[in-house]
Structure 1
Amino acid sequence: MTTYGGRRTQAERDAITVEIGYALCSAAFAAAVVFGAVAGPALLFDLPDTAELLLLRGGTVLAPVLFALRVVSVLLRFRASAQPSQPGRTSPDS
């Protein structure tokens, strides 16, 4: 994002802020959906104790793992796509 150790512009800081917000919101939504899909049946239906326990623990484990993976993947993708082209060369899409 910066050019050779220089300071970031306001537009670059805003882009990073928006991307972090998007990463957190989309990760929270995905984690909630996964938790609901895995642990939901245990909360809605009268299941045997073992099945209920497994579903609740599975949802409790999968949701934070998915949250972390989603945040990292969105932020790494943003960082990789923000690489500037080589200075002094014409961009292919110009």
Structure 2
Amino acid sequence: MSGHGERRRSQAERDAITVEIGYALFSAAFAAAVLFGAVAGPALLFELPSVAEKLSLRAGLVLAPVVFAVRVVSVLVRFRGGGQPSQPGRTSPDS
């Protein structure tokens, strides 16, 4: 599996990947929960007309997983593409 020019990752690289995955999942769950609360919250807290309540709950149930997935992908793609500065102690030019 590690034949085509792949190199073994150092422990620091593996740790950085683990932290980034954890951050992506946590921030995505938080964003999805906030969105669900904003969209479906009024239907849960207040007495709304039946149609508005159903629409609000369904919109929250549809949008929350979409936001979760988009957030996870965007964080992980940014991590993969960003990399580290070329020299220790220096910031990359686009930061």
Report the TM-score when normalising by structure 1. Answer: 0.84
Aligned counterparts of 1:17 and 1:79: Cα–Cα separation in 2: 13
Letter aligned with residue 36 of structure 1 = G
Letter aligned with residue 44 of structure 2 = L
Aligned counterparts of 1:61 and 1:44: Cα–Cα separation in 2: 19
2:66 pairs with 1:76: no
2:29 pairs with 1:50: no
What is the RMSD of the two structures over their aligned residues, measured on CA atoms?
2.0
Aligned counterparts of 1:52 and 1:8: Cα–Cα separation in 2: 50
- Report how far residue 68 of structure 1 moved: 0.1
2:31 pairs with 1:30: yes
Give the equivalent residue in structure 2 for 1:10.
11
User: Which stretches of structure 1, 4 residues or more, deviate above 3 A after TM superposition?
Assistant: none
Give the equivalent residue in structure 1 for 2:40.
39
- Report how far residue 34 of structure 1 moved: 0.1
Aligned counterparts of 1:22 and 1:79: Cα–Cα separation in 2: 14
- Report how far residue 5 of structure 1 moved: 1.2
- Report how far residue 63 of structure 1 moved: 0.2
- Report how far residue 21 of structure 1 moved: 0.1
Give the equivalent residue in structure 2 for 1:20.
21
Aligned pairs, number: 86
Q: Deviations over 1:49-72 (max 9, x none)?
A: 000000000000000000000000
2:63 pairs with 1:67: no
